Amino acid sequence: MLLHLRQVLTPQELAQAREVLAAAPWGDGRVTAGVQSALAKNNEQLPQGCEASRNVQALVLNALQRHAMFFSAALPRQIFPPLFNRYGGVTNAFANHVDNAIRYVPGSGARVRTDLSCTLFLSEPHEYDGGELVIEDPFESPRLKLPAGDMLLYPGTSVHRVEPVTRGQRIASFFWVESMVRSDEQRRLLFDLDAHLMRLRTEHGEADAAAIGITGTYHNLLRMWANA
């Protein structure tokens, strides 16, 4: 499932993140790439342990905490500490690649299975040309460029790329989510069920017998499928 999450960051958080990242010590993006994707990758990335990175990581993780649709869609079990990349000038693209299935968190060594990939856009679309995130699909490959502060959630299983940025700079945060529900199909069913349930609760009230019954069904499916 491909999902556009709107206004994950408030305008204030976005401004703060951009200010910190503008003064940050950017480096070669290939440090976190595997052998195959290092050949495709040509961008800049923020060193994982630097102060700027830690500051904006905390800001992004805090914003995710309060985003109900993110929780409903991703059912996160673990979130890889957000990374930051910048495309522009001579380091401006990332050709087709797949993300590693397992990522190791620096320091703790914890393993995160990359069920979902996330790209949180930090530059406005009018600030750069090119830079679309393209997710390969045999029928039609979507070409995505979201407003700053919005986030794209897409399956970790995809082949994807970032088109060359030919003007300006494209700054984004990217990271992965290990979901409590491993199957994309099951997660999708729970997401749809939750959305319909929210509508039912809004229209008929929390005490509505059907709303209570279907809430039970939602939790029973989650209990059956989740690896919490």
Q: Kindly tell me which of 11 and 106 has the beta carbon lying closer to Ni ion.
A: 106
Q: Kindly tell me which of 99 and 115 has the beta carbon lying closer to Ni ion.
A: 99
Q: Kindly tell me which of 96 and 183 has the beta carbon lying closer to Ni ion.
A: 96
Nearest distance from C-beta of residue 126 to Ni ion, angstroms: 24
Nearest distance from C-beta of residue 54 to Ni ion, angstroms: 22
- The piece of 84-92, 99-107, 127-135, 165-173 that touches Ni ion (CB under 5 A) is 99-107
Site string for Ni ion, 56-95 (x = CB under 5 A): ----------------------------------------
Q: Where are the alpha helices (DSSP H) in 24-135?
A: 35-40, 51-65, 68-74
| Chain position whose Cβ is nearest to Ni ion | 99
73 alpha carbon, distance to own chain's centre: 11
- The piece of 68-76, 97-105, 139-147, 176-184 that touches Ni ion (CB under 5 A) is 97-105
Distances (CA, A) of 21 to 119, 124, 145: 16, 15, 20
Nearest distance from C-beta of residue 33 to Ni ion, angstroms: 9
| Binding flag, residue 194, Ni ion (CB under 5 A) | no
Q: Kindly tell me which of 41 and 72 has the beta carbon lying closer to Ni ion.
A: 41
Burial 90-105, CB ≥16 within 10 A → b, else e: ebbbbeebbbbeebee
Q: Kindly tell me which of 99 and 178 has the beta carbon lying closer to Ni ion.
A: 99
Separation CA 161–CA 147 (nearest Å): 18
User: Could you tell me how many residues of this chain bind Ni ion (CB under 5 A)?
Assistant: 1
Nearest distance from C-beta of residue 169 to Ni ion, angstroms: 19
The residue to which tokens 């290990």 are assigned: 178
The residue to which tokens 């090119």 are assigned: 130
**Is 189 within 8 Å of 221 (Cβ atoms)?**
yes
What is the phi/psi pair of residue 106, to 5°?
-60, 145
| Binding flag, residue 99, Ni ion (CB under 5 A) | yes
Of 95, 194, 114, whose CA–CA distance to 153 is shortest? 114
Note the residues at the interface with Ni ion (CB under 5 A).
Answer: 99
